[in-house]
Amino acid sequence: MTLQPVAEIRDPVHGYVKITGVERDVIDSPFVQRLRRVHQLAGSYLVYPGAVHTRFEHVIGAMHVAGQVGETLAASSEMDSDSIQELRLAALLHDVGHGPFSHMYEEVLAVRSKLTHEDIAQRIIRETSLSGLLDRHGFSPKRTSELAVGRLPGRPSFKNEIIAGGLSADMMDYLLRDSYFTGVEFGKVDVQRIVDSLHASEGHLALDQAATYTFEALLLARYEMFKAVYFHRTVRAAELMLVHSMELADGELGLTDLSDLDDYLNLTDEIVLQKLVTVRASNSDLKQARQLALDFRDRKLVKCVFERLVQRRGQAVGQLFAKVTKRKDAVNELAKSAGVDPAQIFLDVPTTPSVPYTSSKEMLTSVRLVRSTGKTGARSVPISELPLVGSIAGFMDVLRVYSHPDVRKRVELAANRYFGKQGRYSEA
């Protein structure tokens, strides 16, 4: 069951990626071309110089992997050429809503609203000329927008699971791609083994039991990539500065104003950085925003003075600081103790499940396994029962305090006093 390609793209991760006519039109649209100007890993290139790849390459790769999964599932489901094409288009468009600096922008957006890049992607697919383009090729913009973010209603659910979740094409591409461009080896996984071992069972994705160890390797690779790249202390230093700069300048620059999609679509990494470094410093917030952006650009980064890694199965450390006021209170208390300006201290509490979310944004707690042909039905196996993954299941929390170099020692002592108290934010 093969689609008719009209061209091919040479990709450093997957080799030659063949594309169809509708895919070529979507790729050539300004909405996907814009992703060439949004880095996949935000400020990681300041630590890993090769990490200059963009969301554009990633969506091409995710589309390719999604198509491979669709071809595999054709033997155990009602997937036909049109269904596979729909799946590939959804994967191609799954990141079209990302703002400048990807997830860094989303941290700023979270302070202003409950919107995510998935919500914005749905608007772009439905409310721009992409809608007419898809319609002309016979694909529903509404349905495509739902599948692109893993929210297609009804059954079967496996289509959503291919786009987002523990066996998603998204994750299988970004681990390989981020590993390749950073030069970090942890993300190298036998993705093809997983793709070839997938089945559709009772409307859900299921994995051949013989490929369980490869699935474990995938989840462990994700875990190690978070520690080595995504939550690297210096990467986070750069990103904290950028996020804080955007927050301080948002009122002046309207970075999170989504009332006009055209204005939003003009926001790319370089444009926003230029706006930040040239913003008119008419008050202390804007002066600080500009200086942070200049320091980010010139790699004059804040320093980590305190770090605590906690792996928990209960409440995440980040949830303890979910409210902005809670984080500000902690920073103010640290600043008072250290005798410094609160603007010189940064509290970082990123948190993520040590195993990925499902397509419905719930924590992945089990995987469906089938034997050989998959005809005997799937059994759901708790993640905790997998020999290796069970040991890392829960939340992977990082609590860090950063400061400007000139007050580093004072903030370090204050942080150790504040967070080093017996039992405070220790393992649950």
The structural domains of the chain, with segments of one domain joined by +, span 7-233+368-385, 302-354+394-428
Q: What are the residues facing 397 on neighbouring strands?
A: 310, 351
* Rounded-to-integer distance, Cα 396 and Cα 404, Å: 26
Architecture of the 302-354+394-428 domain: 2-Layer Sandwich (3.30)
Number of residues in the chain: 428
pLDDT surpasses 50 at 427: no
Q: CA 409 to CA 283: how far, in whole Å?
A: 29
- Residue range 45-54, pLDDT digits in tens: 999 999 999 9
Tokens of 375: 């005809």
Residue with tokens 């809670």: 326
Q: How many CB atoms lie within 10 A of CB 265?
A: 17
Residue 198 pLDDT grade (very low, low, confident, very high; cuts 50, 70, 90):
very high
Across the range 11-30, mean pLDDT stands at: 98
* CATH 3.40.50.300 correct for 7-233+368-385: no
* Closest by Cα among 15, 304, 359 to 164: 359
pTM above 0.85, yes or no: yes
In 3D space, the residue among 234, 199, 222, 396 whose CA is nearest the CA of residue 317 turns out to be 396
Q: What is the pLDDT of residue 235?
A: 96
* Average pLDDT rounded to a whole number, residues 257-266: 95
pLDDT tens-digit series, residues 309-352 = 765 555 555 555 656 678 889 999 999 999 999 999 999 987 67
Q: Can you give the pLDDT at residue 24?
A: 98
- 77-124 per-position pLDDT tens digit: 778 999 999 999 999 999 999 999 999 999 999 888 889 999 999 999
- What local confidence, expressed as pLDDT, does residue 193 receive? 97
